[in-house]
Each structure stands twice: as structure tokens, then as C-alpha cells.
Amino acid sequence: MKSNPSSKINRINDDIQIALSSLLRSIKDPRVRQGMISVVRVDTTGDLRYCRVYLSVLGLQDEKEFKKGLKSASGWLRRELGRAVSLRYTPELIFELDRSIEHGVNINKMINELGITPEEGEDEQS
């Protein structure tokens, strides 16, 4: 029985996401340690040469410095990722900022500022 190639990539993406979540907390560079970093999604190319990593940073102060810090740490991250996840080839990491969580927090804050409360019993029906 032949396995589905996309399920293999999905499994690799999950493994990389878990490993990077842990490794990012180990970075000592103050440029990277700005707020709470979450690995939102990982997309690896089919040939495993490149891996696009989508990060959400709650409390980011300086995006330019954050990206410089990540670029500086990318060699170390790639090497440690190679040790954590057994792949024939460790992909080159490309970091992207994902603002969806931050956007959701802002929308929530705006809704709360409006002072709208749910109708009695409305939240119990979910």
C-alpha cells in the first residue's frame, strides 16, 4: 500500500511546528524575545528544500529587529531542527509574520469596549 504524499508532508509540517515551537523559546537573542511567539503554521515544499514558518508574536515591539534576530538565529534553528526531526534534508527556514491572532485580539478588544453583553441564555445554547 502506497502512502499519500500530502499526508507525509502534513506529518513533517506537524513535526517541524512542534520542534520549532520549543526551539524558539530557547533563543537568547533579545531581538527575538519580544513577547509571546507562537508557530501558527508550517508549509514545507514537496522536495523538503524550503519551509515557510508563520509566526504570531503577541507583544511585538520592533518587527525589523525581530526579523533580524530570526535571520541571525536561523542557522542554529536549522541545525537543531535537523537533530530534532529526522529528515534526509533539513529545509531552509523562511519566516513570515502572521497577524491573525493579533487581529482577533484587537477585534475582541473593540467589541468589549462597545459594552455589548450577550442576551440572557444566549451563551448557554452553544
Q: Which of 4-8, 28-32, 91-95, 106-110 has the highest mean pLDDT?
A: 91-95
Residue range of the domain that includes 95: 5-116
Of residues 80, 96, 81, 78, the one with CA closest to residue 15: 81
Say how many Å lie between the first and final Cα of the chain, rounded. 42
Q: Is residue 124 part of a domain?
A: no
Residue 121 lies inside a defined structural domain of this protein: no
CB 119 within 8 A of CB 49: no
Nearest to 84 by CA among 9, 14, 7: 14
Whether residue 125 is contained in a domain is answered as: no
Q: Give the CATH number for residue 40.
A: 3.30.300.20
3-state DSSP call for residue 56? strand
- Split into its structural domains, the chain has a count of 1
pLDDT at residue 26 tops 80: yes
- Looking at the domain assignment, is residue 72 inside a domain? yes
One-letter amino acid at 99 equals R
Assess if residue 104 is contained within a domain: yes
pLDDT tens sequence across 105-123: 788 888 888 877 666 555 5
User: Between 120 and 62, whose confidence is greater?
Assistant: 62
